[in-house]
Every structure is written in structure tokens, then in C-alpha cells.
């Protein structure tokens, strides 16, 4: 089976096999050094020059989203959420659950985020903006300049879930004034699931460390994580093996020309796929897309059916949930798939379309 799902993705062989050769024990100076090395490189990739500003947590991406809500927001904040799909909705649910006052910018399917959506919220006392830089349920890559301008002129902190944009779309926390960025091991990093990262600006780090009240979580109290971080450690047992995979992955990125070359290769892959899939008679949306995935739109055909057909050809893609399940399925461009695999996928899609038209 060839894996084109939106995370976990197909792992590279030397990353997948690294667990066989390492010990799982972690309270050692060697493991601490490994962690510091990985977090430093990841901080450079995400464009955050603040030292000791990246935490890592034993949970999937949603756990980190919730931990950020618990540690970075309080009931005296007023939050705005960009809600353009199921991940935006998830931020709304988490904020609601924790009693943080919020409003959301609700986007319809196929609606592109633009200035008019934000300007209605100018000068209304909002203190935090939550956004999923790539809304993975639709593949829309939001305009970061637009969002950071809005935050700057309103004195708001910008909290970005970059889970599916990290290591495939080009952005920098420092340049865009992102105050907290969340990502996980199983997407752009192409590792096993189980490890999530939170990178913070210096003002967000101060907000967390100076907070008088305890966060609504004991396990994910970021103050404890910052204290342990100075030794490259975590308060509790981390996903040790995943960190070794991250190290192997960072080596791979470096050997293939570094961060920019890596991102450019994924962008090329996405571009080539988008051209071929439209030539094969399918449509793609016209809002800006992340390099991570291509949503393929179906006219009248149930997208779930196509995803099922593809399985018989040996390809696993991501169908969508809810209302979108009939409209789109998603093809991911991350992970260990070759241009030859991509061509075979296109051939299969062409074949499926011909058969369905004949029916
Ligand atoms: C994958 C993803 C998540 C995290 O999902 P988990 O299943 O909890 O790892 C969160 N946000 C976005 C935008 C994602 O793509």
C-alpha cells in the first residue's frame, strides 16, 4: 500500500528503523544533549531565535493545542478563532471547554480568508488570535501577513497551530510575530505519532512564567517543562524513541540540502501533482493551498467512493469527514513517496474517472 494520508505519513527507512538501536532510558546527560540538539535545530527551522523556547510534550497535536489553551490563555483574555474547518472548530471547542471567552470567524467551504473577515474585529478588545495556519481539513493556507498585521495593530498575541505547515510551507515565527506555534512528530517531520512541540516568543514565555494562577492542567504545566528544559529533560517520561526518530529525520533534511531545499522539493511535488490531477479531469479549489496536501474536488461523485477505489489500486488517501466527505478527498505530499509513485497515483485516478464516466 502506498501511503498518501495526511499524517501519519510514510516514514523514511532509516528513521523507521532507528528504534532498534537505542535504549529507551532517558534520565541521562546523553539523552539531554540529544534533546537540546533537536530542539535547537527545530527552533531554527521555525524561525524562533529565543533560546530555550521550545517545549516538547508526550501527546498528539490536539493535546498540545489544549495545553497551549490552558497555559497561554486565561478567562480574562478575549480570543478570536479562525474557524475554516474541523481544526478551527477544535480550537473553539477547547476554548469553550476551558471557559475562555471567544468569537470566531466562520468560513464557508471554499471561502478564502481575507481582510474584511478580520477588520470587523478591530478595536474590540481581543487579546489572542488562534489559527491553524494550514486548515488541514480543506488544505487552505491562510495569509500569515494578513493575520500578523491584524494582531500587531490590535496588540494581540498570535497563537498558530502549524501542525501541517511545519517543514513544508515557508514561514518564520520571528518575521510574522507568532507568539506560540504548535506542531507534531507525525506530519512534516514524518516520524511516529506521540510527540508534540510548542515554540514560544519571549513575551509569551514571560506571560507563562509570570502567571500568578496555576494552569487548568497539572500534567502539562509549562512552568515545569521550562525548568526541566535547561537539562534537556521533561518532568515525566517523554516519547523517547520519537526523539531519536526526529534526530534521524533532521539528519536526512540536512543531507538533502537543508531546510529550504527540503521545502522546495515538497512544493515542487505538490505543484506537479496539482497540474497532473487537473489534466486528468479533476478539480482543485482556488483558495491558497498549503504544500502539505491537495484537496481533490468531485463534481457529483462521492469522494469517499473514489478513496475506496484508490485502495484497490494500492493507494491510501485521506477522505474528509462530515459535510465535506462527498466533496473532497485529500492527497498528502509529505513522506516517503517518489515521483514514480505520484505518477502511478495519477494513472489510477485517470483510470477511475474513465470507468466512472462510462457507468
Ligand atoms: C493533524 C492536525 C492536528 C492534530 O491532530 P492529532 O490527531 O491530535 O495529532 C491539529 N491541527 C491540525 C491543523 C492538524 O493537521
Q: pLDDT tens digits for 310-331?
A: 999 999 999 888 888 888 999 9
The rounded distance, in Å, linking the Cα atoms of 214 and 95 is 17
Ligand 1 atom nearest the C-alpha of 65 is 10
Has residue 41 got a pLDDT over 80?
A: yes
How many angstroms does the Cα of residue 9 sit away from the middle of ligand 1? 13
Summarize pLDDT for 115-146 with one digit per residue, the tens.
999 999 999 999 999 999 999 999 999 999 99
Residues with CB under 6 A from ligand 1: 7, 60-62, 87, 132, 136, 161, 163-164, 184, 187
- What three-state secondary structure class fits 16? helix
How many angstroms does the Cα of residue 139 sit away from the middle of ligand 1? 13
- What are the DSSP calls for 196-252, one per residue? EEEEE-HHHHHHHHH-SSPPS-STT-HHHHHHHHTTT--SS---HHHHHHHHHHHHH
DSSP 352: H
CA 116 to chain centre: 25
Q: Which helix (H) or strand (E) holds 331?
A: strand 328-332
Report H helices in the chain.
Answer: 13-16, 29-45, 61-72, 86-97, 115-119, 144-154, 173-176, 202-210, 222-229, 240-255, 259-279, 303-312, 339-358
pLDDT > 90 fraction of the chain, expressed in percent and rounded: 92
pLDDT > 70 fraction of the chain, expressed in percent and rounded: 99
Question: Ligand 1 test: best mutation among 81, 84, 134, 136, most atoms within 8 Å of CB?
Answer: 136
- Residue whose Cα lies nearest atom 6 of ligand 1: it is 61
Question: Model pTM?
Answer: 0.97
Cα-based angle 29, 37, 206 (whole degrees, multiple of 5): 95
How many angstroms does the Cα of residue 61 sit away from the middle of ligand 1? 5
For the chain, the straight-line distance linking the first and the last C-alpha, in angstroms and rounded, comes to 27
Q: Which long-range contacts (CB under 8 A, 24 or more apart) does 101-104 make?
A: 101/75, 101/77, 102/78, 102/130, 103/78, 103/79, 104/80
- Show the cell assigned to 161: 497551530
Ligand 1 atom nearest the C-alpha of 184 is 9
Pairing of strands 180-184, 196-200: antiparallel
Cα-based angle 343, 346, 347 (whole degrees, multiple of 5): 85
Q: Provide the pLDDT confidence category of residue 298 given band limits of 50, 70 and 90.
A: confident
How many angstroms does the Cα of residue 163 sit away from the middle of ligand 1? 6
Please compute the mean of the pLDDT values over residues 71-89 and round it to a whole number: 97
Please compute the mean of the pLDDT values over residues 337-353 and round it to a whole number: 96
- Residue whose Cα lies nearest atom 12 of ligand 1: it is 163
Question: Ligand 1 test: best mutation among 92, 184, 239, 290, most atoms within 8 Å of CB?
Answer: 184
**CB 41: neighbour CB atoms within 10 A?**
17
Peptide bond into 8 cis (omega under 30): yes
How many angstroms does the Cα of residue 162 sit away from the middle of ligand 1? 9
- What confidence score (pLDDT) does residue 359 get? 64
Summarize pLDDT for 150-201 with one digit per residue, the tens.
999 999 999 999 999 999 999 999 999 999 999 999 999 999 999 999 999 9
Cβ neighbours for 51, distance < 8 A, ≥ 6 positions apart: none
How many angstroms does the Cα of residue 353 sit away from the middle of ligand 1? 31
Please compute the mean of the pLDDT values over residues 23-37 and round it to a whole number: 96
Has residue 358 got a pLDDT over 70?
A: no
The rounded distance, in Å, linking the Cα atoms of 102 and 289 is 27
pLDDT: is 320 or 295 the higher one? 295
Q: Quick check: 320 and 305 in contact, CB under 8 A? A: no
- Residue whose Cα lies nearest atom 4 of ligand 1: it is 61
Has residue 299 got a pLDDT over 80?
A: no
How many angstroms does the Cα of residue 161 sit away from the middle of ligand 1? 8
Q: Provide the pLDDT confidence category of residue 271 given band limits of 50, 70 and 90.
A: very high
Residue of 71, 1, 48, 5 whose CA lies nearest to 329: 5
Summarize pLDDT for 189-238 with one digit per residue, the tens.
999 999 999 999 999 999 999 999 999 999 999 999 999 999 999 999 99
- What are the DSSP calls for 134-157, one per residue? EETTTTEE--HHHHHHHHHHHT-E
Amino acid at each position: 500500500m502506498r501511503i498518501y494520508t495526511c499524517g501519519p505519513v510514510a516514514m523514511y527507512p532509516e528513521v523507521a528503523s532507528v528504534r532498534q538501536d537505542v535504549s529507551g532510558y532517558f534520565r541521562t546527560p546523553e539523552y539531554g544533549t540529544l534533546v537540546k540538539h533537536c530542539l535547537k535545530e527545530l527552533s531554527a527551522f521555525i524561525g524562533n531565535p529565543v533560546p530555550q523556547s521550545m517545549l516538547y510534550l508526550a501527546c498528539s497535536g490536539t493535546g498540545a493545542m489544549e495545553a497551549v489553551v490552558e497555559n497561554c490563555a486565561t478567562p480574562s483574555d478575549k480570543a478570536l478563532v479562525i474557524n475554516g474547518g474541523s481544526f478551527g472548530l477544535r480550537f473553539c471547542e477547547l476554548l469553550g471547554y476551558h471557559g475562555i471567552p471567544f468569537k470566531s470567524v466562520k468560513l464557508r467551504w471554499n471561502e478564502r480568508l481575507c481582510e474584511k473577515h478580520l477588520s470587523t474585529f478591530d478595536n474590540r478588545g481581543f487579546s489572542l488570535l488562534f489559527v491553524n495556519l494550514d486548515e488541514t481539513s480543506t488544505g487552505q493556507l491562510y495569509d500569515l501577513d494578513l493575520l500578523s498585521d491584524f494582531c500587531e495593530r490590535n496588540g494581540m498575541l498570535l497563537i498558530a497551530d502549524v501542525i501541517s505547515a511545519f517543514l513544508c510551507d515557508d514561514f518564520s515565527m520571528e518575521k510574522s510575530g507568532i507568539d506560540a506555534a504548535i506542531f507534531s512528530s507525525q506530519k512534516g517531520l514524518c516520524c511516529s505519532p506521540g510527540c508534540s512541540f510548542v515554540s514560544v516568543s519571549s513575551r509569551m514565555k514571560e506571560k507563562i512564567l509570570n502567571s500568578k494562577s496555576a494552569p487548568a492542567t497539572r500534567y502539562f504545566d509549562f512552568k515545569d517543562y521550562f525548568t526541566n528544559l535547561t537539562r534537556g529533560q521533561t518532568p515525566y517520561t517523554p516519547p523517547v524513541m520519537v526523539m531519536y526518530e526526529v534526530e534521524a529525520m533532521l539528519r536526512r533534511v540536512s543531507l538533502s540540502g537543508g531546510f529550504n531545499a527540503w521545502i522546495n522539493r515538497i512544493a515542487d511535488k505538490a505543484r506537479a501533482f496539482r497540474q497532473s490531477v487537473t489534466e486528468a479531469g479533476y478539480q482543485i479549489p482556488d483558495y491558497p493551498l498549503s504544500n502539505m496536501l491537495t484537496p481533490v474536488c468531485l463534481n457529483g461523485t462521492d469522494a469517499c467512493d473514489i478513496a475506496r477505489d484508490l485502495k484497490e489500486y494500492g493507494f491510501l488517501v485521506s477522505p474528509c469527514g462530515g459535510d465535506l466527505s462527498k466533496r473532497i478527498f485529500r492527497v498528502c505530499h509529505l513522506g516517503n513517496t517518489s515521483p514514480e509513485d505520484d505518477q502511478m497515483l495519477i494513472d489510477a485516478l485517470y483510470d477511475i474517472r474513465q470507468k466512472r464516466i462510462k457507468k
